[in-house]
Structure formats: structure tokens, C-alpha cells
């Protein structure tokens, strides 16, 4: 019965997200479609909450392109197209509708999961499988340079990804016509399934690694603080970077898997854009 209910809920989520996107695609003309894009790359130095690894440096591609009302975006590419251009969801996304100053959207994105194969302590725990998450979001300006946003994203493939909620405040500061700063403060919440998958240890997993089981409940996962900047080097090239701090709270912070309750990251990148 529970499996049937879960499958039914996923079907409803997919249907609600697909119909408005398809309808909008039918309604919009094809003029200018595909002429706006951005491609680039960034280097990121970061530490993780889980496991025994130290600071890692990774190379990440950045891209954004649009087909009608549907956008395909990775990382923060959508915010790099130009100062004053509103940001959008990562993954495959579309604006559904707006009511006065409220803007509603939806997106699909891949959650890459996690593997413990390279961890000397937790090797033997089951991997978190890659899954597809559907996200519904709402944004509203608060006056001046402030805005508020919230989102809910759900595992759509039944891979124990659970439900996660996010809410945060954002502050946009234009340093000049070419340079912008963005500050963000947000908090995340996960249901019991999400928390168990990402921070829990099942009895079978505990037996495999010689640890005690851990079963967190649903609640606040953590708080995130970020500062990002971007500057136009010319009509097409954009230099960008930023720093961020993430702090776990509650049952997530108490998990035996957590090595660092507070982590940090820094990013520097370059992108080429073409705006119609």
C-alpha cells in the first residue's frame, strides 16, 4: 500500500510539473529560441560534512541555455547572463506563472548521491543512489534589493531521497553597471526519509562497519551563508567567484557520519555568454 501511494505521489508531481511547461511551450513563439546561452568553467575548493576527506579542489562546468520557456542550467549560470537579469532554478526549469509580485516555478535536476568507497572509516555503508528530484519554488521581492524565496524538492524515482524544504533571504547589491554582489542566508529542512538516507546508519550498515545504528528524525538540516560576485569583462566574458559557509543543526549535526559540523567553500570561474 505504501509503495502504491509513493508511486502515485511521484506521478502527480511529474504531471503537475510537466503540463504547465508543455502548455507554455505551445503558447510562446519560436522567435529568438536558442539564441541565449552561457558556457564556462569554475574551480571550487571545498570541505564536506560527511566522511574523513580533507579539502578538495574540483573542476566544474557551467552552462545555461533556453528553449522557449524551458531553461537548462548548471550551477549559478543563470545569474551570470547579465546584471539585473533574474535568476532561475538549476537543472531543467520553467517559470509557471506569477501573481502580482509572487513568481512560481518548477525544475527537474539530478541528485548525484554519495559513495563511501574511498572513505577509510565508513567504507561498506550502502551508497546513496543518483536520483531525479522535482522542485517547486516561489520567489517574492521584499522591496529595495531584498528578496525571499522558498522551494520544496522531492525524490521522484523512489530511491529514498525523501523531501527537502529550503527557505532563504537574498540581497543584491550592484557595485557598478558591470559588477554585482549577491548575499544569501538560507535554511534547509528534511523529512525523516531524507534525514535517514543522508545522515542515518541502518542496522545492516552498522553491522558492516562496526558502528551503532543511528536513526535521525525529520527536522532542520542546516543553515547556509553565501557571498557571490560577478563582473563583466566585456560584452561576452564574465568573471565570477564566491565563498560559502554551511552549518549542520539538530539530528544532522549529531550524526556519527559527520566529521565537520561547519564547512566552507570558495569558487572562481570564467564564462562566455551570448544574449539575444
How many C-beta atoms lie closer than 10 Å to residue 93's C-beta?
24
User: How far apart are alpha carbons 142 and 225 in whole angstroms?
Assistant: 19
CA dist 240 → 39, 97, 234 (Å): 13, 30, 13
Check residue 95 and give its pLDDT: 62
Closest CA to 66 of 84, 88, 83, 82: 88
Check residue 11 and give its pLDDT: 44
Check residue 28 and give its pLDDT: 35
Assign 3-class secondary structure to the chain. CHHHHHHHHHHHHHHHHHHHHHHHHHHCCCCCCCCCEEEEEEEEEECCCECCCCCEEEEEEEEEEEECCEEEECCCHHHHCCCCCCCCCCEEEEEEEEECCEEEEEEEEEECCECCCCCCCCECECCECCEEEEEEEEEEEEECCEEEEEEEEEECCCCCCCEEEEEEEEEEEECCCCEEEEEEEEEEEECHHHHHHHHCECHHHHHHHCCCCECCCCEEEEEEEEEEEEEECCCCEEEEEEEEEEEECHHHHCCCCECCCEEEEEEEEEEEEECC
Check residue 247 and give its pLDDT: 97
Check residue 94 and give its pLDDT: 60
User: How far apart are alpha carbons 80 and 266 in whole angstroms?
Assistant: 17
Check residue 230 and give its pLDDT: 92
Instruction: Tell the residue number behind the cell numbers 529550503, with chain if given.
Output: 166
Which residues pair with residue 66 across a beta bridge?
71
**Which residues of the chain are modeled with pLDDT < 70?**
1-35, 52-53, 69, 75, 78, 81-97, 276
Alpha-carbon torsion (179, 185, 189, 190), positive or negative: positive
Which residues pair with residue 260 across a beta bridge?
none
Check residue 252 and give its pLDDT: 97
Burial class (CB within 10 angstroms; exposed 0-12, middle 13-18, buried 19+) of 19: exposed
Check residue 221 and give its pLDDT: 98
pTM over 0.85: no
Check residue 242 and give its pLDDT: 95
User: How far apart are alpha carbons 99 and 82 in whole angstroms?
Assistant: 25
Amino acid at each position: 500500500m505504501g509503495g502504491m501511494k509513493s508511486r502515485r505521489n511521484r506521478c502527480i508531481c511529474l504531471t503537475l510539473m510537466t503540463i504547465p511547461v508543455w502548455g507554455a511551450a505551445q503558447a510562446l513563439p519560436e522567435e529568438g529560441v536558442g539564441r541565449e546561452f552561457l558556457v564556462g568553467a569554475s574551480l571550487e575548493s571545498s570541505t564536506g560534512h560527511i566522511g574523513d576527506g580533507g579539502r578538495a579542489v574540483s573542476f566544474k562546468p557551467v552552462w545555461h541555455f533556453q528553449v522557449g520557456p524551458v531553461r537548462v542550467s548548471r550551477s549559478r549560470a543563470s545569474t551570470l547572463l547579465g546584471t539585473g537579469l533574474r535568476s532561475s532554478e538549476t537543472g531543467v526549469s520553467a517559470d509557471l506563472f506569477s501573481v502580482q509580485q509572487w513568481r512560481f516555478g518548477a525544475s527537474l535536476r539530478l541528485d548525484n548521491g554519495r559513495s563511501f568507497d574511498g572513505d577509510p572509516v565508513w567504507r561498506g555503508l550502502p551508497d546513496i543512489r543518483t536520483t531525479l528530484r522535482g522542485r517547486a519554488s516561489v520567489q517574492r521581492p521584499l522591496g529595495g534589493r531584498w528578496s525571499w524565496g522558498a522551494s520544496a524538492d522531492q525524490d521522484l524515482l523512489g530511491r529514498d531521497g525523501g523531501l527537502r524544504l529550503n527557505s532563504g533571504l537574498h540581497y543584491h547589491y550592484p557595485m557598478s553597471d558591470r559588477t554585482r554582489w549577491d548575499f544569501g542566508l538560507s535554511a534547509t529542512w528534511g523529512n525523516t526519509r531524507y534525514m535517514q538516507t543522508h545522515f542515518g546508519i541502518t542496522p545492516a550498515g552498522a553491522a558492516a562497519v562496526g558502528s551503532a545504528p543511528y536513526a535521525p528524525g525529520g527536522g532542520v538540516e542546516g543553515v547556509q551563508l553565501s557571498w557571490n560576485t560577478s563582473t563583466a569583462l566585456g560584452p561576452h566574458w564574465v568573471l565570477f567567484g564566491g565563498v560559502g559557509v554551511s552549518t549542520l543543526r539538530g539530528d544532522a549535526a549529531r550524526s556519527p557520519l559527520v566529521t565537520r559540523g561547519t564547512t566552507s567553500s570558495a569558487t572562481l570561474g570564467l564564462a562566455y555568454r551570448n544574449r539575444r
